[in-house]
């Protein structure tokens, strides 16, 4: 964005009017990207995929899905690594084949908070302020 204005000044000395040369004032404003938006999108995409997998795991356990199913076994094996750091925080409650697994919920919350922190860190490290430069030229 570039703004330009021209001013003529008139000075009065004992009744004589004199016109000063035109003064051109130019203000150049460069708008830089506010943050690294693509990196933030990538982080939130990964967090969304991880959270979706953990929600599927939680629902399969809660509804008592059969371990004979290949998809159920695949989901449990895939998400076991993600839930492992949170085992033992709360007691797991089972009723028949249904299992209430609170560590899955804790994992969802923790991974979402980590994603939020990483996105905020990227935004903090890549944000640049507006740069404005004023230039006065006398013609």
pLDDT tens-digit profile of 11-23? Answer: 455 555 555 555 5
Where are the chain's structural domains?
Answer: 2-33+129-138, 37-126
**Nearest one of 131, 133, 62 to 95, comparing CA atoms:** 62
pLDDT in tens, 74-131: 999 999 999 999 999 999 899 999 999 999 999 999 999 999 999 999 988 887 655 5
Residue among 43, 110, 99, 51 nearest 79 (CA): 51
Judge contact between 131 and 30, C-beta under 8 A: yes
DSSP H or E run through 94:
strand 93-95
10 Å CB burial of residue 57 (0-12, 13-18, 19+) is buried
Give me the phi and psi of 24, to 5 degrees please: -105, 125
pTM of the model: 0.67
């Amino acid at each position: 964005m570039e703004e330009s204005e021209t001013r003529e000044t008139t000075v009065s000395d004992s009744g004589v009017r004199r016109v000063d040369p035109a003064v051109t004032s130019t203000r150049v404003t460069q708008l830089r990207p506010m943050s690294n938006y693509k990196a933030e999108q990538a982080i939130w995409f990964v967090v969304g995929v991880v959270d979706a997998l953990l929600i599927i795991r939680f629902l399969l356990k809660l509804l008592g899905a059969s371990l004979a199913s290949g998809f159920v076994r695949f989901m449990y094996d895939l998400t076991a690594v993600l839930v492992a750091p949170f085992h033992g925080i709360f007691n797991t409650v089972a009723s028949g084949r249904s299992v209430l697994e609170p560590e899955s919920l804790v994992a969802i919350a923790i991974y979402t908070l980590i994603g939020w922190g990483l996105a905020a860190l990227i935004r903090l490290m890549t944000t640049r302020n507006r740069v404005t430069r004023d230039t006065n030229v006398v013609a």
